[in-house]
Amino acid sequence: MKTSCLLVVNVIVCFFLVGSVISNDYKTFNKLSLPPTVTGPESAAFDLAGEGPYVTVAVSDGRILKWKGPVIGFVDFAYTSPTRTKELCDGTNDLVLGPICGRPVALSFNYRTSDLYITDAFFGLLVVGFNGGLATQISGGYKYLSGIDVESYTGNVYMTDASLTYDIRNMSQPGFKPDSTGRLLKYNPRTQRVVVLISGLAGVGGPAVSSDRKYVLVPEYANKKIQRYWLQGPKHSTNEVFMTGIGSPKNIKRAANDQEFWVAVEKQAQGLRVNGSAMVLQTVPLTKFVNKGVAVVQEMNDALFVGSSHADFVGVYTN
In the complex, what is the shortest distance from the CB of residue 276 to ligand NAG, in angstroms, rounded to a whole number? Answer: 4
In the complex, what is the shortest distance from the CB of residue 121 to ligand NAG, in angstroms, rounded to a whole number? Answer: 11
- How many beta carbons lie within 10 A of that of residue 27, not counting itself? 11
Instruction: Find, among 246, 253, 235, 303, the residue nearest to 278 by Cα.
Output: 246
Q: Closer to ligand NAG at the Cβ: 22 or 49?
A: 22
d(CA 186, CA 228) in angstroms, rounded, equals: 14
For the sheet containing 193-201, what is the strand order?
Answer: 145-150, 157-161, 182-188, 193-201
- How does strand 208-209 pair with strand 193-201? unpaired
Distances 2 to 13, 21, 109, 271 between C-alpha atoms, Å: 17, 29, 59, 39
In the complex, what is the shortest distance from the CB of residue 167 to ligand NAG, in angstroms, rounded to a whole number? Answer: 6
In the complex, what is the shortest distance from the CB of residue 284 to ligand NAG, in angstroms, rounded to a whole number? Answer: 17
- How many beta carbons lie within 10 A of that of residue 50, not counting itself? 8
Q: Is 101 helix (H, G, I), strand (E, B) or coil?
A: helix
Q: What is the residue type of 290?
A: V
Q: Closer to ligand NAG at the Cβ: 135 or 218?
A: 218
In the complex, what is the shortest distance from the CB of residue 104 to ligand NAG, in angstroms, rounded to a whole number? Answer: 18
d(CA 246, CA 281) in angstroms, rounded, equals: 13
Q: Closer to ligand NAG at the Cβ: 99 or 132?
A: 99
d(CA 288, CA 294) in angstroms, rounded, equals: 10
How many alpha carbons fall within 13 Å on the CB side of residue 274? 26
In the complex, what is the shortest distance from the CB of residue 229 to ligand NAG, in angstroms, rounded to a whole number? Answer: 17
Q: Closer to ligand NAG at the Cβ: 137 or 170?
A: 170
In the complex, what is the shortest distance from the CB of residue 109 to ligand NAG, in angstroms, rounded to a whole number? Answer: 26
Distance separating the N- and C-terminal Cα atoms of the chain: 47
Q: Closer to ligand NAG at the Cβ: 165 or 287?
A: 165
Q: Closer to ligand NAG at the Cβ: 154 or 170?
A: 170
Residues near ligand NAG, by CB under 6 A: 166-167, 169-170, 259, 275-277, 279
- How does strand 63-67 pair with strand 104-109? unpaired
Q: Closer to ligand NAG at the Cβ: 131 or 277?
A: 277
Q: Closer to ligand NAG at the Cβ: 166 or 305?
A: 166
In the complex, what is the shortest distance from the CB of residue 11 to ligand NAG, in angstroms, rounded to a whole number? Answer: 19
Q: Judging by beta carbons within 10 Å of its beta carbon (0-12, 13-18, 19+), is residue 303 exposed, middle or buried?
A: middle
